[in-house]
A and B are shown apart, each in its own frame.
Chain A
């Protein structure tokens, strides 16, 4: 039940955003501060997901070589930066994690 509620409300908000200026054009413009802020939404939100995934292990900070997700993630960041290739980034990160998991059995 809760999940359906989330989907419908989240979907409505999203649809309203998409429809907004297509309907409102001429009656309202995007405020400058909002327009400038929107550029920072993707890097901020996505990093807010990435950092805890890499740095926290069962809720605790783990900065060591034995944190497989951190090592694999850093390698993926390097690949993404150098190649800009999405699939290669995911592949390198995933393979690294699985190999490390196989070695250290965590």
Chain B
């Protein structure tokens, strides 16, 4: 039963891995471009193990930002995992601390996506943590291997190819499809404009300031929408 659940987890994760591989590859290339050593680039993929934050870290390291700013930026970019943690927690209540510790380490966007679906679907939770383990390890292995390949590519591709631009392009691919409502669109635009205006702020503070502006604008707009929705009848979303 355990092995069956484990491999079901790996299998459910497979389609997502096809998308993850190029990201790991690009991360490896960017890390080399930012001046990380081969070891540092590879180890970051297992210590931090979170794509977007690793991408941003390479950019900030390349720009010579101070450690405090980098650590804060990584922490904020990864705050969303608290949501996943809260959402999976009820299913993991009875697990041992070791299991909780391991599964928390493997809790990424992609592992969460397939595991929560699996948890919500079933009634028998006895072995479902094995499914999570399979999905998580599948992703972990792919991330490490693709990082390694990217590090190798980063060392051989000439700088004239402008591969650093893949960072902006990757983020465009991630963010544009998510801008489905006006509060998130406003959050994106206001953060972007702020980032351009705040580009010359010392210590590369720009990203943190812009993120803050974007979040406040998004929240404000969402609140206003909710309030005006309550006033006018019928309420629309």
Contact = CB atoms under 8 A, between A and B. Distances in A.
A20, A50, A84: most-surrounded residue (chain B CB, <10 A): A50
Contact of B214 (A4, A29, A44): A44
Contacts of B82: 17, 20-21, 30, 34, 38
Interface stretch (B120-128, B146-154, B205-213, B228-236): B205-213
Contacts of B76: 41, 45
B60 to A, nearest CB: 9
B166 A94 contact: yes
Interface residues of B, number: 88
A73 B52 CA distance: 18
B195 A52 contact: yes
Contacts of B118: none
Interface string B70-104: 11001111111111111011101100000011011
Nearest to B175: A46
Interface string A49-70: 1111111100101000000010
B176 A11 contact: no
A29 B50 CA distance: 24
A6 B61 contact: yes
A10 B70 contact: yes
A69 B191 contact: no
- Tell me what chain B mostly uses at the interface: helix, strand, loop, or mixed: helix
B88 to A, nearest CB: 7
A36 B221 CA distance: 12
B50 A7 contact: no
Contacts of B74: 6, 10, 13-14
A23 to B, nearest CB: 7
A4 B90 CA distance: 35
B48 A43 contact: no
Contacts of B173: 76, 80, 85-87, 89-90
Interface of A: 2-11, 13-15, 17-25, 29-30, 33-56, 59, 61, 69, 72-73, 76-77, 80-81, 84-87, 89-90, 93-94, 97-98, 101
5 contacts: A10-B47, A10-B75, A15-B105, A22-B100, A49-B56
Interface of B: 19, 22, 26, 36, 40, 43-44, 47-50, 52-53, 55-57, 59, 61, 67, 70-71, 74-86, 88-90, 92-93, 100-101, 103-105, 107, 161-162, 165-179, 183-185, 187-196, 199-200, 206-207, 210-215, 218-219, 222
